Amino acid sequence: MTEVLVIGVGSPDAGDDAVGALVAEAVANRALPGVEVALHEDPTDLALLWRDRSRVIVVDAIRSGAAPGSIVLLDADDEADATRWPSGRCCGTHDFGVAAAIGLSRALGTLPADLTVLGVEGVEFAPGASLSDEVRDAVGAATDEVARLVGATT
């Protein structure tokens, strides 16, 4: 039975925006018990994807001004965390990002009881750009953090 849905958000062809997919793929390769992994380039349908789920971890690139490669954990229901989301948008580099999906899901009543956003601070998001060294170096730590969050040993 799937207990946790891990969603990697981002574009594989836009530099550091690929980190969500890279971490999700690394989590899938670990075959953690009770964990289902999904990859999504476009966050517009997240509210439908996580509907009827009780526990979800979203991994996405962020732009918050932190050091490149920094890992930030945000709780969708924590008001203090919401104030840390850059420009009130949360953790995405998309016009309709994870924060908008959370807001929509809240309005629709489909927000999971436990939704954590794991953001990795990126520096390069141009189409066709390569993953930065800082973000590439953070993939392992971000994967370990997801495993820790789901209660798996790393």
On whether residue 28 sits in a domain, the answer given is yes
Torsion of CA 33, 9, 23, 124, to 10 degrees: -170
Domain span holding position 115: 4-149
On whether residue 154 sits in a domain, the answer given is no
Whole-number Å distance between alpha carbons of 57 and 52: 14
pLDDT in tens, 104-137: 888 888 899 999 999 999 998 888 999 999 999 9
pLDDT, residue 78, reads: 64
Q: Identify whether the C-beta of residue 79 lies closer than 8 Å to the C-beta of residue 20.
A: no
Element (H, E) at 135: helix 133-149
pLDDT, residue 104, reads: 84
- What CATH number does residue 80 fall under? 3.40.50.1450
Number of domains the chain is built from: 1
What predicted TM-score, i.e. pTM, was given to this entire model? Answer: 0.87
pLDDT in tens, 33-59: 999 999 988 778 888 889 889 999 999
